[in-house]
Structure 1
């Protein structure tokens, strides 16, 4: 028995960035399926232009159970993050994707939503998101055809649509919304504004605050008191022009004297 897992495939363009990481730590742990001893591997990976994440994988040689999960190693950010990617070419399919256990994947063209905590956090690729859905549905099709032929036929039609998306016969959109703010979709050219992708930040809803454990389930607050709508509007990017107009501030050591000072950075362009 093999459990469908989240892909940990990394794009070849950035594979070199992952080669110098330390060897994974291996520990014996009980298999939840057959209760024999399996092996859990834990490794810390630094993802370029994002941050450090912890990847854990489990494999049982007795029953074949395998699973992978990801821990960001970071606390929830001040704001939630929403990333919208227009998938137009093979390079888009090969982008690295990081999703925490609170993140929601959505593909509007398929009316497909993968809700939070339906699986653990994932380190995968854009293509891997679809491949995981295809694998999960495909593995149960033989049994489904015996129990519900009508539903099985609908799933076959859905899988055919997935194949068209994977081959880019149909262009599509991947949305990733994560209230913890710990999500990421790679920019193939990180020194330029991404023409296919928009990242925005938003103030979490009450339900999202409860999901993260910041509020009790029975706690009621007035969002109008908690959220300044003007501040919220200022923190959201609505278009590519908003991204280009954003001035980023971060603290760092002075190259001359070593004292901590503020650095400001803004995307710009030249006519030549």
Structure 2
């Protein structure tokens, strides 16, 4: 019998990448009782990583006696700082094949049918859009025999609704699927990656107190008072350290935090984590100030390889655009970073090409592989100074920065534009009550 101990796992991640070439990707089998016939069946657990996403636990139960089976997925990662909402307009049958990670804390809605699956009423699932529709229909059909005996009229109405739900799979008309998850651990595939998905909208939101309570992040009796802050002068002069866990191997690690003044910009908080067990390193940047009154769009025309040495502060609310490549990266995709332009472009390549989960295994297609590899080659040309493009940082919070190498004089290759945030951008930033000049609620 294998014993899991700190000595056995330290320095090695329990969550393995799925690969046909690995011998250690076998699931763990546990004999357990079937909840249908109460005889013993088999549960299989697989701890794996979904690149471009996070660690998950996939479990599957099957009973050889009554043939009952059940599968579910649980997030093994941390609850994210913000909730996430995916809004997909399903236009073709190909959209039904999009892969979906739906956490058990997510709410699923189809506005056209006035249909909603509340949070914590279903187990988490790794499926497709079609699979979610089938699962919803199967859940409604499950208690229909009892309803027909007790309330025939209600059963008839539910039968009619099930037919409408199943008819959505024909995609005769467009419909909208909304997955809203306060934990931030749900995911919907973008098959057009690394290009922008015109049918899919991803927005982030600040959790309410009630949602924090549902996720177990605070007790019911917790007061909504802001904690007393640390002395700012102390933070400027010292490097603060606190204990955490490595995001890769989950071993104990240490995170250092420092308040830094960026010339010609503002103060930011830089946090760096180093794991002594697996060697993983990461850095993250948080704005040291409040959200600006207006958003900021910074456009740099990259004309020379020397531009790669420019310092870049990308806040977690900042999106990235490269119009010549028809590329757009959402604001939370690579988190907050303080690096060089070369480092940021390499992170983008790593995220969209090297660690993209849809370029390997059964999910990959030759057309998709060719597009991603071509995109990676274009990024390499930009880094080597062989391709002239416009690089855009679009931050509705106004907390991102791109170094002006001519400072204090204007940079002839860089423009900075201030703009009034839209209603949706204020929603994403948790500024629902903020009113600015030119701000109007969209109805």
Specify if TM > 0.5. yes
| 8 Å contact from structure 1 (residues 103, 116) kept in 2 | yes
After TM superposition, the structure 1 = structure 2 runs for residues 51-130 of structure 1, keeping only pairs within 5 Å, are 51-130=54-133
User: Gapped runs of 5+ residues in structure 1?
Assistant: 1-16
**What is aligned with 2:412?**
none
Name the counterpart of 1:12: none
CA 1:65–1:199 in structure 2 vs 1: closer, same or farther (change >3 Å)? same
Within 2, Cα distance between the matches of 1:152 and 1:186?
Answer: 35
Sort the Cα spacing of 1:148 and 1:236 in 2 relative to 1 into closer, same or farther, 3 A.
Answer: farther
Report the Cα distance in structure 2 between the residues aligned to 1:244 and 1:25, rounded to whole angstroms. Answer: 37
Matched residue, 1:164: 167
Between 154-163 and 133-142, report the one with greater CA deviation.
Answer: 133-142
Conservation of the 8 A alpha-carbon contact between 2:317 and 2:331: no
After superposition, the Cα gap between the structure-2 partners of 1:249 and 1:66, relative to the gap in structure 1 and judged at 3 Å, is closer
- Structure 1 residues 35 and 152: CA distance shift in structure 2, 3 A: closer
* Other-structure match for 2:146: 143
Matches within 5 A, 1:197-208: 197-208=200-211
Q: By how many angstroms is 1:148 displaced?
A: 1.4
**What is the CA–CA distance in structure 1 between the aligned matches of 2:146 and 2:331, rounded to whole Å?**
52
CA distance 1:75–1:189, change in 2 (3 Å): same
Cα distance change, pair 244–181 in 1 and its aligned pair in 2 (3 A):
closer
> Are the aligned partners of 1:201 and 1:236 in contact in 2 as well (CA < 8 Å)?
no
Query: Aligned pair count?
Result: 245
**CA–CA separation in structure 2 for the residues paired with 1:188 and 1:18:** 20
Tell me which residue corresponds to 1:218: 221
Normalised to the residue count of structure 2, the TM-score between the two structures is 0.48
* 1:58-78, Cα deviation, whole Å (9 max, x unpaired): 122234432212112101011
1:23 aligns with 2:26: yes
- 3-state SS of 2:207 partner: coil
Give the alignment of 1:255-266 within 5 angstroms.
265=348
Map of 1:182 onto structure 2: 185
For the residue of structure 2 that corresponds to 1:176, the secondary structure is: strand
Structure 2: runs of 5+ lacking an equivalent: 1-16, 230-288, 296-315, 353-378, 380-388, 391-443
Secondary structure of the structure 2 residue equivalent to 1:119 = coil
Structure 1 position 135, deviation (Å): 1.4
* Cα deviation 1:67-125 (Å, max 9, x = unaligned): 21211210101111111111111221000110112111111111111111102111111
Alignment RMSD, CA only?
3.8
Larger Rg: 2
Query: Normalising by structure 1, what TM-score?
Result: 0.76
1:36 aligns with: 39
Q: Which has the higher contact order (CA 8 A, sep 6+)?
A: 1
Indicate the SS of the match to 2:204.
strand
CA apart distance, 1:140: 2.9
C-alpha distance 229-105 of structure 1, shift in aligned 2 (>3 A): farther
Alignment of 1:247-258 (within 5 A): 248=334
Looking at structure 1, the residues matched to 223 and 71 of structure 2 have their Cα atoms a distance apart, in angstroms, of: 36
